């Protein structure tokens, strides 16, 4: 269902175009089809993509180049905005319209768009929403994905614009890797097949693969899965990374362990629903006696949720900000 942001983007958009790109705004697809049959849609979130007719979806955001109108929901991340602006270049002239709630906007967004377009301005606010308009494509080539070598960890990670965490390895993930290596009063993780759920930039998957495990990776974000695949290629490792929702598609009792740095937001909204759903699904996918390793912000009540939904849970590493737990599947 369209919201105030979608309505404002649509009202600001020209009603004539030869080709239209829709980025992370699936509710605008029907309107765009009323302008032209050449509508190309990219949604980073699998759940948004699933609401769009498959024939309208592009396989890669680079396939959006050459349109003369781009309609987008402004992402929270400036890197994701840079990627959006880069992939719609190509035509002699293209208009980019990106909308968001005003509280999620900042002037740095104008600066990012100004890198790719000659003119950038903003609409009047309406219903606590605003649209940024950009004209005059500069034609800069996309420099995504980005790759960064982490010598201290022995592998590189890769990221597209919307990949959570970019090419950094955040402190919570580092604490998790230390725990997986047996850095506390517990045995290191040793498993045949491990699933990195919510793989992000693939840093956990790279570590697991370097340790010789069979690694599966799953994320609801296309940018995460694509970045993980690039990292695996750069590192010469084998990781089966798939784009999807939760643990859909994984067979019952098919993995020895699940390792996760779970999200607690969807887009700009804090939301633990998917994480709690994953805890419920984990018992189905784990083999009997399998383990779920989880790192999370210490203020979140995940230990209780894990114990109630999956099995006995203990803390194996903790600092001021993050907690790592291991849960033995008993169901």
What is the spatial distance between Cα 47 and Cα 245, in angstroms, rounded to a whole number? 7
Residues in the chain: 331
List domains and CATH numbers for the chain.
4-137 (3.40.50.150), 146-328 (3.40.50.150)
pTM of the complete model: 0.93
pLDDT, tens digit, for every residue of 111-159?
999 999 999 999 999 999 999 999 999 999 899 999 999 999 999 999 9
Structural contact between residues 317 and 183, judged by C-beta atoms closer than 8 angstroms:
yes
Instruction: Please say if the pLDDT value at position 304 is more than 80.
Output: yes
Give the helix ranges, DSSP H, for 88-214: 107-116, 171-180, 203-210
Question: In the predicted model, what is the mean pLDDT of residues 287-296?
Answer: 92
pLDDT, tens digit, for every residue of 37-61?
999 999 999 999 999 999 999 999 9
What does the angle CA 202 – CA 204 – CA 205 come to, to the nearest 5 degrees? 60
135: β partners: 119
Band of pLDDT at residue 183, cut at 50, 70 and 90: confident
Structural contact between residues 279 and 306, judged by C-beta atoms closer than 8 angstroms:
yes
Which pLDDT value is given to residue 302?
86
Token pair belonging to 230: 């690039």
What is the spatial distance between Cα 47 and Cα 271, in angstroms, rounded to a whole number? 14
Which pLDDT value is given to residue 185?
66
DSSP count for the chain of H helices, then E strands: 10, 17
The 8-class DSSP code of residue 282 comes to H
pLDDT, tens digit, for every residue of 46-101?
999 999 999 999 999 999 999 999 999 999 999 999 999 999 999 999 999 999 99
pLDDT, tens digit, for every residue of 13-23?
999 999 999 99
Percentage of the residues of the chain whose pLDDT score is greater than 90 = 81
Average pLDDT, the chain: 93
Instruction: Please say if the pLDDT value at position 267 is more than 50.
Output: no
């Amino acid at each position: 269902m369209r919201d105030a942001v979608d309505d404002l983007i649509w009202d600001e958009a020209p009603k004539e175009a030869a080709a239209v790109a829709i980025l992370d705004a699936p509710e605008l697809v029907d309107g765009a089809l009323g302008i032209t049959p050449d509508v190309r849609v990219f949604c980073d979130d699998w759940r948004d993509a699933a609401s769009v007719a498959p024939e309208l979806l592009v396989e890669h955001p680079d396939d959006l180049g050459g349109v003369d109108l781009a309609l987008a929901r402004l992402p929270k991340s400036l890197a994701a905005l840079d990627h959006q602006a880069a992939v719609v270049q190509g035509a002699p002239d293209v208009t980019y319209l990106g909308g968001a709630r005003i509280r999620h906007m900042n002037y740095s967004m104008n600066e990012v768009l100004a890198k790719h377009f000659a003119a950038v301005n903003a609409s009047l606010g309406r219903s606590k929403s605003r649209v940024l308009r950009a004209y005059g494509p500069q034609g800069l080539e996309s420099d995504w994905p980005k790759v960064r070598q982490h010598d201290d960890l022995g592998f590189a990670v890769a990221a597209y614009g919307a990949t959570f965490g970019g090419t950094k390895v955040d402190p919570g993930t580092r604490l998790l890797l230390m725990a997986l290596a047996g850095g506390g009063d517990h045995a290191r993780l040793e498993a045949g097949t491990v699933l990195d759920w919510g793989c992000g930039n693939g840093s956990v998957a790279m570590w697991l693969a370097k340790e010789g495990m069979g690694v599966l990776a799953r994320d609801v974000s296309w940018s995460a899965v694509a970045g993980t695949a690039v990292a695996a290629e750069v590192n010469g490792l084998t990781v089966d990374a798939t784009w999807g929702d939760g643990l859909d598609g994984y067979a019952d009792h098919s993995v020895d362990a699940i390792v996760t740095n779970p999200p607690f937001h969807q887009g700009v909204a804090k939301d633990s629903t998917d994480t709690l759903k994953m805890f419920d699904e984990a018992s189905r996918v784990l083999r009997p006696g399998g383990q779920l390793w989880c790192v999370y912000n210490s203020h979140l009540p995940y230990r209780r949720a894990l114990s109630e939904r999956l099995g006995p849970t203990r803390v194996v590493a903790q600092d001021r900000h993050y907690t790592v737990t291991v849960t033995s599947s008993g169901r």
